[in-house]
Structure 1
Amino acid sequence: MKTLKIKHSYAEKIKKGYPLISKESVLSTDSHITEGALIELYDENGGFLGKGYYGEQNKGIGWVLTKKREESIDANFFLSRLAKAFQERETLFQDAETTAFRLFNGEGDGIGGFTIDYYDGYFLIQWYSKGIYTFKDLIISALDELADYKAVYEKKRFNTAGQYVEDDDFVKGTRGEFPIIVKENGMHFAVYLNDGAMTGVFLDQRHVRKTIRDRYAEGKTVLNTFSYTGAFSIAAALGGARKTTSVDVANRSLSKTIEQFSVNGLDYEAHDIKVMDVFKYFQYAAKKQFSFDLVILDPPSFARTKKHTFSAAKDYKNLLKETIQITKDQGVIVASTNSSAFGMKKFKGFIEAACKETGTSYTILEEHSLPEDFQTIKSYPEGNYLKVVFLRIQRR
């Protein structure tokens, strides 16, 4: 067990439940600490703060796991945390209309550095540091004890920037035949657990897709930007949209979006799917005088194409201004970001500034954050990263 001495200002945060150990918070350490080493944290006066593990990732150098000095970080520790998470998702396990959700959400469920998603009998573990990966056998053993499953897959994001590390993603069980078709509120999505960093659907937008389908899509023309595999377009089409247009720069988005339409029994040829830089598409749409009743704006927090670099923290306002130009009067924009660099208050500031600078009035219709399976804790607001605002645009 190694020890870390934590600076006073950071020690106060940890006492209040902040779980992340940042590099700048450490005053002094034992000799060289290896990935996965168990650590004890003390304040500058030698007061015990907690126990955790060392693991470098884009967010910090480790996580506090318990503030109880007598609690061991062992097989029972991992089993108890996973068992609690299983219990809290029992309603989702029983929901026949939804077969894909987040089962374990890192620090929100008590252990920072990894997540587990459930896809209709398959588990997908995402590891965010070599440190947490050293506990892999204990975590897999806990899964073995808690559930019957078809297979376990994994994604390693050991790169300190959180990037995916290429490897065989299969861990144990019976290899799946992909795609597997999962359900989400009755919608169908084709999912791949063995094909690179992403699976085909972002599970944190479950409630937003249902809201679009049930309350905003009927009879509307819909533009889905940064569309990935078209999940929002599927929701809109199933909700009775007159037409959807999906735009994404990645070549794979065409075949992936066609696949998602097809598994839902929808005619993809009745909709537009464009492989195109979204920034160019805005110029193209403005030139052609296109306008839409409903626009979904959910860019990555950071993206780079040949001609553009986009950062949500710096560029979201300007992107929203371009979106407003091709949204009909009384149309709705679903403004969404997964950036943890700012909170909802600042995000609403971007919305207000974009509307002011385009001479547009707006009404906020509703707001969304992470669904209940993406468990978060108040002491770590960065973990509650998703911000979604439905706003109605009124031309002055």
Structure 2
Amino acid sequence: MEVEVTLKVKPKYEKMYKSGYPLITKDAISNVNTLQKEGQLFKLIAEDNSFLGKGYLGKQNKGYGWVLTNNRNEIINQAFFEKKIKDAAENRKVLFNSEDTTAFRLFNAEGDGIGGFTIDYYDGFYLVNWYSEGIYKYKEYVYTALTKLGQYQGIYQKKRFNSGGKFIEEDGFVEGERAEFPLIVKENGVNFAIYLNEGAMVGVFLDQREVRKKIRDTYAKGKTVLNTFSYTGAFSVFAALGRATKTTSVDLANRSLSKTIEQFQLNGIDHEKQDIIVEDVFRYFKYASRKQLKFDLVILDPPSFARSKKFTFSASKDYKNLLKEAIDITEENGVIVASTNCATFDMKKFKGFIKAAFKELHLNYSIEEEYSLPEDFKTMKQFKEGNYLKVVFIRKA
């Protein structure tokens, strides 16, 4: 395909794009209205018409599209996609050869050179997540590249963009063999049930792999554990396998009960000896405080934004207050695993929320561990927003 349009960068943003910043933002482009067709290729130039890069239009919540190369002579074609995906697979060779971990991220969008889509690997099956109609135009390039890679039984996809005003829910099967669900994968020797054919969520968030292992290996033994916003109970499973005295999993979604039971059973854990509660986490905190319940280890991993009947939560505005509620039901010398995937603030600001929460409660604390994205979730230093995960293990002094 040939470059179809030219985008001119405003002078104050030129340095940013010269350094390799990949996201096309509305404010940075003087003629952004030139972009009209999803998937349309563009050439990026400075005010003096000097070349800055090439990319494609793909509107998503982050921006208008992505720069794919700063090389004037590079062509965006099948070979380009194949090389990027092959290089990504080479970088994950250790994971492909692992017997203990059979689920990981194969391709992490702009971190691996093409913003707008990701590829996850689940024990022989690829799952492609598309985040705009623009990048979806190049789906055949991606599927052909995966076919040439081999090492798979089937390919699934999820379209995470609006099409005609609504998200398209579908089975997601693309080609190869259909998986039998649940598909059982391993993470550091622990079993997870995966459903590639059920809506947006598949059963586990792969970016928390190192955090779960640390909880099992170091923090869980002999402890009472509260896992809030627990989803399918992955943290609880690792805590139970780490010989926690008891786990309590709390999530508002009705399906969290059956999904969490399934994960416990897959790992030989008696779910009846654990507490699995379907309840609004915000209400549960108030209940636990009223009943004077205390936990040795509290896992706090809320979504960036959540709304229930009585509460609206925004991580950037409300995390400090939510953390204060977690502190209140944490035992003295207990540990809070504070986590967020909100990309609008960095670790420094996140630690500021932590400091403010303890200060307002007139309590001391120490930071035991810090985590960001694991190696398979590759990021680029020019795009700090891409390194969205922030996890801090906090000991209540």
Q: Which residue of structure 2 lines up, in the alignment, with residue 97 of structure 1?
A: 100
CA contact (8 A) 2:183 2:194 kept: yes
Q: Which residue of structure 1 lines up, in the alignment, with residue 120 of structure 2?
A: 117
CA distance 1:359–1:163, shift in 2 (3 Å): farther
| 2:42 aligned with 1:39 | yes
CA contact (8 A) 1:99 1:118 kept: yes
For 1:1-396, what aligned pairs fall within 5 Å after superposition?
Answer: 1-29=4-32, 31=34, 33-159=36-162, 165-394=168-397
Q: 2 CA distance for matches of 1:387 and 1:182?
A: 25
Q: 2 CA distance for matches of 1:218 and 1:252?
A: 28
Q: 2 CA distance for matches of 1:223 and 1:276?
A: 13
CA contact (8 A) 1:57 1:159 kept: no
Q: 2 CA distance for matches of 1:32 and 1:199?
A: 34
CA contact (8 A) 2:9 2:28 kept: yes
Q: 2 CA distance for matches of 1:370 and 1:274?
A: 29
**TM-score, normalised on structure 1?**
0.98
Instruction: Kindly provide the amino acid, as one letter, of the partner of residue 101 in structure 1.
Output: F
CA contact (8 A) 1:3 1:29 kept: no
CA distance 1:68–1:30, shift in 2 (3 Å): farther
* CA deviation map 1:284-327 (0-9, x unaligned): 10111100000000000001111111000000000000000000
Q: 2 CA distance for matches of 1:190 and 1:347?
A: 32
Instruction: Kindly provide the amino acid, as one letter, of the partner of residue 39 in structure 1.
Output: F
SS in 1 for 2:310: coil
SS in 2 for 1:201: coil
Q: Report how many aligned residue pairs link the two structures.
A: 393
Q: How far has the Cα of 1:164 moved from its partner? A: 5.0
CA contact (8 A) 2:301 2:338 kept: yes
SS in 2 for 1:360: coil
Structure 2 residue runs of 5 or longer lacking an equivalent are none
Q: 2 CA distance for matches of 1:96 and 1:155?
A: 27
- Aligned-CA RMSD value: 1.3
CA contact (8 A) 2:372 2:391 kept: yes
Q: How far has the Cα of 1:163 moved from its partner? A: 8.7
* CA deviation map 1:75-94 (0-9, x unaligned): 11000000100000000011
Structure 1 residue runs of 5 or longer lacking an equivalent are none
**TM-score, normalised on structure 2?**
0.97
Q: 2 CA distance for matches of 1:164 and 1:243?
A: 39
Instruction: Kindly provide the amino acid, as one letter, of the partner of residue 277 in structure 1.
Output: D
CA contact (8 A) 1:40 1:52 kept: yes
Q: How far has the Cα of 1:168 moved from its partner? A: 3.1
What's the % identity of the aligned pairs? 64
Q: 1 CA distance for matches of 2:385 and 2:33?
A: 29
CA contact (8 A) 1:157 1:163 kept: no
CA distance 1:146–1:303, shift in 2 (3 Å): same
CA contact (8 A) 1:155 1:164 kept: no
My pick for the range that moved more, 284-293 or 6-15, is 6-15
SS in 2 for 1:377: coil
CA distance 1:241–1:361, shift in 2 (3 Å): same
CA distance 1:164–1:365, shift in 2 (3 Å): farther
Q: 2 CA distance for matches of 1:189 and 1:163?
A: 30
CA contact (8 A) 1:2 1:30 kept: no
